């Protein structure tokens, strides 16, 4: 809203009608119990309460986006397998690779001898 300067410009940026965005803000303001901005001013002016929430949103939204990105990244875990016989490596590494091809099999002494 602040970057757009008006409700109409913000609605266009969000690909919504001005009326739809206005209704969404009205519903939000009703739930909050106070106005977020002065509707009749040009450019649009936030109320003191709106400024407080805007500053908080500017801090929190990037953190939420970062957390969501971290949640969607594949998690890496390690499985350590200790074996005593060297001949087990010949069948164990290919078996692990066939079982979970997306997991890199290898590490300390567990490498495909091929």
Q: Which CATH architecture has domain 7-72?
A: Orthogonal Bundle (1.10)
Q: Name the token pair of 55.
A: 């500053």
The segment(s) of the chain belonging to CATH 1.10.10.10 are 7-72
Looking at residue 89, its pLDDT comes to: 76
Strand partners, 38: 45
Looking at residue 31, its pLDDT comes to: 97
pLDDT mean by block of 10 residues, the chain; 114 residues: 87 95 96 92 90 96 94 77 76 81 63 50
Report how far residue 106's alpha carbon sits from residue 89's, in angstroms, rounded to the nearest whole number.
Answer: 10
Looking at residue 110, its pLDDT comes to: 47
Looking at residue 18, its pLDDT comes to: 93
């Amino acid at each position: 809203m602040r970057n757009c300067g008006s409700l109409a410009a913000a609605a266009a940026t969000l690909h919504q009608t001005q009326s739809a965005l206005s209704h969404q803000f009205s519903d939000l303001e009703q739930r909050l119990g106070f106005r977020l901005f002065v509707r009749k001013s040009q450019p649009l002016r936030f109320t003191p309460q709106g400024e407080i929430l805007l500053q908080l949103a500017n801090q929190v939204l990037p953190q939420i986006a970062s957390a969501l990105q971290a949640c969607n990244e594949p998690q890496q875990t390690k499985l350590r397998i200790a074996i005593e016989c060297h001949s087990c490596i010949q069948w164990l590494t290919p078996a692990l690779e066939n079982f979970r091809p997306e997991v890199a099999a290898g590490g300390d002494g567990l490498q495909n001898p091929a």
